[in-house]
């Protein structure tokens, strides 16, 4: 596979709103999504297009965060696709084997593609989950900063 950043330029870090909400849904706890889903299953529902199925994907890393790419290892993911009765199709890939999590993430993806529901779900589901992730990241950063060790080199002065 050719390296799309062969010119050593930085990748485009801007993401679309759908990429953002799909990332939030994938990182969310399955139980949290089930609790949120109880508020949105008013009548409509969805049909499963692709049953949740698990498989392995290769995870790639970069040396030093931006250096040479290497295969880090494989992780288990579960994917699912659903169609709302109104026609919107949602997809999800989640880490692990939680079939219900993948199905609900796909259902929320489809709901978020429905203009009349997007703002409500964005404010009541996506924003709180995103804030929770941000707080957890800040706590991890604080913990890591507390254990930081600054190494320095001392030069020994020699008398002549």
- 117 touches 88 (CB < 8 A): no
- pTM of this prediction? 0.77
Q: How many structural domains are present in the chain?
A: 1
Residue 95 resides in a domain: yes
Residue 151 resides in a domain: no
Residue 155 resides in a domain: no
Q: Domain span at residue 131?
A: 17-146
Alpha-carbon torsion 100, 44, 46, 117, what sign? Answer: negative
Residue 68 resides in a domain: yes
What pLDDT digit, counting tens, does each position of 55-100 carry? 999 999 998 878 899 999 999 999 999 999 889 999 999 999 999 9
Residue 2 resides in a domain: no
């Amino acid at each position: 596979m050719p390296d799309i950043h062969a010119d050593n330029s930085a990748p485009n870090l801007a993401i679309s709103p759908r990429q953002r909400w799909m990332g939030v849904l994938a990182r969310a706890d399955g139980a949290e999504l089930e609790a949120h889903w109880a508020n949105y299953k008013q009548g409509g529902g969805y049909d499963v297009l692709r049953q949740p199925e698990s498989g392995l994907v290769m995870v790639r890393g970069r040396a030093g965060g931006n250096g040479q790419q290497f295969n880090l290892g494989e992780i288990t993911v579960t994917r699912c696709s659903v169609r709302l009765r109104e026609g919107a199709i949602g997809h999800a890939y989640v880490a692990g084997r939680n079939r219900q999590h993948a199905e609900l993430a796909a259902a929320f993806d489809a709901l978020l593609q429905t203009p009349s529901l997007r703002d409500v779900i964005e404010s009541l589901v996506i924003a709180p989950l995103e804030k929770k992730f941000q707080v957890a990241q800040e706590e991890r950063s604080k913990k890591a900063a507390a254990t930081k060790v600054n190494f320095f080199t001392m030069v020994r002065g020699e008398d002549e």
